[in-house]
Amino acid sequence: MKRAPKDTLESSRLLSRRTLVVGGVQLAISGGLLLRMRSMQLEQADQFRLLADENRINISLLPPARGLIFDRKGVLLAGNEQNYRIIMTREDAGDVEEVLERLAQLISLTPEDKAQALKEIGSRSAFVPVTIADRLSWEDIARVTINAPALPGITTEVGLSRYYPLGADLAHVVGYVGPVSDYDLSRIEDQDPLLQIPKFQIGKTGVENKLEQTLRGSAGTRHVEVNAYGRVMRELSRQEGTPGKDLQLTIDAGLQSYIEARLDGESAGAVVIDLERGDLRAVVSAPSFDPNLFVRGISVKNWTELNENIYRPLAAKAVQGSYPPGSTFKMITALAAIEDGVLDPEETIYCRGFTEVSGTRFHCWKPSGHGNVNLHDSLKYSCDCYYYEVGQRVGIEKISAMAKRFGLGVRHDLPLSAVAEGLAPDKAWKQEVRGEEWRIGDTVNASIGQGYVLASPLQLAIMAARLASGRNITPRLIHTIDGVEQPANSDQSLGVNENTLRQIRAAMDAVSNNQRGTAYAARIAQSEMRLAGKTGTSQVRRITAEERARGVTSNADLPWERRDHALFVCFAPVDAPRIAIAVVLEHGGGGSSAAAPIARDIALQALYDGTPPIEAYPSGVRDQVLEQQQRIEQRVPVGSVRFSDRA
């Protein structure tokens, strides 16, 4: 049927309108797309180029070389060694278990190692490398490399790992490093991205821990190209990090090693201080442990042996241990009384073997007593009753203040783990801590370094150094940081009357060099090298009246943990002091018989900077000393790695 011309015209008009609308919409969309494309290509080109690079390029951190640690003479104490390791990539390996079996025929790989490797491989993406073995020898790496065609997915790498060439000798001073733990992250304030690197090692104890940021250095960066699955295709660039700063300690590694050997078989602490600048020449805790065990991952067996040893090898006794100082404290009581004007050094006090205070008897170590003694004789004979009387005169407040002036009851600022504050108690301390009033009996006990008084070997060595010099000797452990010497602060006067100090020193000289002195048997035979000292024996158990009546049980008949501590403090040479020493033997018995000979041997080793002549020893002990020196010389000698040998 033929349409009317009117209808045809209307349809044509409607079609043209729709065409225009559709065309307009299409034009608008096309225009919008063109504008958007222009904006993306021109105005936002840099932004999208960056996004593309981020998808294509990965940036990873490169751990820096850790700073080295040397002794005062340049001997390496903590270094970095090449660490050869083997890694496996699962997607390239095919049959992982079969490859591991082949690998086990080339290197030492226990069933436990293989099980751990399989567990870790199964928990990672197929393209992520997993460490199978590390700390391998060059021979192991060579065997694996030669057999590479039979070991798909296996590659070798080399990095740096911490090592301690002197082993146990410096363990408590230098400390050791270990992998970052969740506990470490929770207590470290600086959020260095390096800490997020798997198995990245940080200092756990000692100098390694306290100067972690100085030793750590800053990270480098590595740019690698990856594909859409995140698999590394090639390395684009590398910028190495900044190594950590090198440290030089004031410690003399040779002297430190000697003392460790001399204390073999003892549970003890010993400290040697150089009087010129307060440098710590040796800080020894015995027994010790090999810090390399912790770096490599200590076994359960080794950990159990260290943890269950009654001599506590993990404890840094030289700075962490707090012991009753016993008679080594008597110089403090005497100084407090003389400075307060309540004691004349020439005044005599009668010792009848005990002093009765408020109905309680306080006994002298010599049951029959010492008779009339003045200051000089009281130290030479180590009379207790003299100090019972003097302590009551001066009072605990003055004794405590004098103790702190000489470095006791004070935490010294050193980069070492768990430096003890010790205790120089007073009335306020007992009320605050114990909730009790101070009693006169507490003062009597404190006057001879018993009761609540506690000190570490470090504090006792500082006390001896200040007695010898009259100066406020401040201990220093860090000599230089990257070659820049660190400040020493040991010139300030203590403000104690020099004449009084001379009398104390003369009495300490008599302790070691007068035939009736308590340490005469442990003297130095050469007059120009002689030392001045003070013995100490501190009780760790209460002796009852019943035991005294039947006879006090000797240390030899007691279990080790109930025996007295043996102590000795000294300085040498007497006429021009250069060093001060403190030795504490846990449950060692008597200070004169056990601690004093060790301190003498240490003093001679330090003064001669090596093995002293046999003539320096009393004639009666020379054969014993020769045997002892031969035993010590069998130890591995101190290494000769110097600053120029940076690893």
Q: Which residues participate in catalysis according to the annotation?
A: 327
How far is it, in rounded angstroms, from Cα 196 to Cα 214? 18
Contact yes or no for 368/431 (Cβ under 8 A): no
Q: What single DSSP character describes residue 435?
A: -
Distance CA 205, CA 291 (A): 10
Residues 6+ apart with CB under 8 A from 133: 85, 86, 107, 108, 109, 113
Q: How far apart are CA 430 and CA 622, in angstroms?
A: 49
Report in angstroms the alpha-carbon separations of 232 from 51, 162, 222, 433.
18, 28, 12, 62
Q: How would you class 481 by CB atoms within 10 Å of its CB: exposed for 0-12, middle for 13-18, buried for 19 or more? A: middle
Fill in the amino acid letter for 506: A
Side-chain-side CA neighbours of 608 within 13 Å: the count stands at: 20
Both structure tokens of 442: 């507490």
56, 229 contact by CB (below 8 A): no
- Comparing CA positions, the residue from 474, 413, 480, 417 lying closest to residue 70 is 480
| Residue 16 to residue 353: CA distance in whole angstroms | 132
Measured distance CA(156)–CA(185) in Å, rounded: 30
CA distance 565 to 588: 5
Which CA distances in Å does 562 have to 73, 541, 553, 556, 567? 41, 6, 11, 10, 16
Reference 136, options 159, 102, 111, 166; nearest CA is 159
Answer whether the bond into residue 325 is a cis peptide, omega within 30°: no
Q: How many CA atoms lie within 13 A of 511 on its CB side?
A: 33
List, in order, residues 6 or more apart from 620 with CB less than 8 Å away: none
CA distance 222 to 227: 16
Torsion over CA: 623, 628, 634, 640 (sign): negative
The residue to which tokens 């992982």 are assigned: 96
Residue 630 phi/psi, 5-degree rounding, is -65, -40
What sign results for the dihedral spanned by CA atoms 227, 232, 235, 241? positive
Scan for tokens 């000489």, then name that residue: 406
Q: What CA dihedral angle connects 602, 581, 312 and 162, to 10 degrees?
A: -80
Is there a contact between 75 and 638 (Cβ–Cβ < 8 Å)?
yes
